[in-house]
Structure 1
Amino acid sequence: MLTFEEKLQVIESFPELERKDVSLGRVNFHYNESSYDQKNVVYHLHPNGNGFVYAGKMTGYQTNDKGMVNIRDFTEKALRSTIRKSILSLTPKEPEKTNEPEEEVWINENTVTLTLLKEGEIWNVYADDILDGTFNSYRQATQYLDEEGFSRI
């Protein structure tokens, strides 16, 4: 088991965390850039070595009702890994950028055209104003069009 001082040394190696001394010699570490109301990454690190790390948005950890995992018996590697994952789980997510177009026109050898259109989170294929198919992803929609003998214009 790491001592209080050893745990502090590991935790303080994360520059994105801000130390907050609380009662009874305990220490919290906040992640102020959190996308959520949850700011505490390390909660009530006690001089006896007990303390908690927020794992409420992570899988594979046994947490209490506040989403905290007890770090009393963590190794340095486990502590460092859990804190890094906690910070990442609270980090603002940037919208995924893709090269997918919002709209495409496809044609077959008989010069029939279909329009592939992203509408919200789904992809619809239209023949003029008539809905021909609905797909969960761009890849599924283009695979369908390819199988039906259409190609992008």
Structure 2
Amino acid sequence: MLTFEEKLTIIDTFSELERHEVSLGQVNYHYEDSVYDKKVIVYHLHPNGNGFVFAEMIEEKDYPVDKKGMVNIRDFSEEKLRTVIQQSIESLSESDPHEENWKDKENNKLVLVNDYDTWNVYAGELLDASFATYNSAVDYLQQEGFKRIE
């Protein structure tokens, strides 16, 4: 496991991130150029090495995210930490709306679209559902028997 100081050194190499000291010695890093309202990339990096990176909008990931869209980076290697931070920055840099197509066994199609910090599910032009987070929208689609298509 990387130490707090090692994680700070790695994160400080991302010149697009701005460091913010928070309570109890914790540190946040903001990405002020985000095209979304979401600006915090690294959240509550603690002197004990625990911390989180915003990963909700990263399309292909091999780690779990919590209901806030964060991944715990406590046990991440240097390479994995650099990768998740870079992917997080890129996911908040996309100026086009995030859009995914989903289909069920009966070939019904739904589209998941990020509309200004709201995740909307559309059936054609009709709004089917709205969610505050990507994970909530995905949970809904999966519970309804839909799978993401490329």
TM-score category (smaller protein): 0.5 to 0.7
Gaps of 5+ in 2: 98-150
Task: Give the ranges of 4+ consecutive aligned residues of structure 1 lying more than 6 Å apart after TM superposition.
Answer: none
- Say if 2:35 is the partner of 1:35: yes
Name the structure 2 match of 1:55.
55
Gaps of 5+ in 1: 96-153
Tell me: higher relative CO, structure 1 or 2? Use CA pairs within 8 A at least 6 residues apart.
Answer: 2
Please show how residues 119-134 of structure 1 align to structure 2 within 5 Å.
Answer: none
Distance 2:79 2:54 in 1: 16
Pick from 51, 68, 71: which aligns with 1:69? 71
Distance 1:87 1:78 in 2: 14
- Say if 2:10 is the partner of 1:7: no
- Equivalenced residue count is 95
TM-score, normalised to structure 1's length? 0.60
RMSD over aligned Cα atoms? 1.4
Distance 2:75 2:38 in 1: 24
Deviation per CA, 1:96-135: give whole Å up to 9, x if none: xxxxxxxxxxxxxxxxxxxxxxxxxxxxxxxxxxxxxxxx
Amino acid at match of 1:89: S
Name the structure 1 match of 2:24.
24
The alpha-carbon deviation at position 92 of structure 1 amounts to 3.8
Name the structure 2 match of 1:128.
none
Higher Cα radius of gyration: 1
The alpha-carbon deviation at position 94 of structure 1 amounts to 6.3
TM-score, normalised to structure 2's length? 0.61
Amino acid at match of 2:46: H
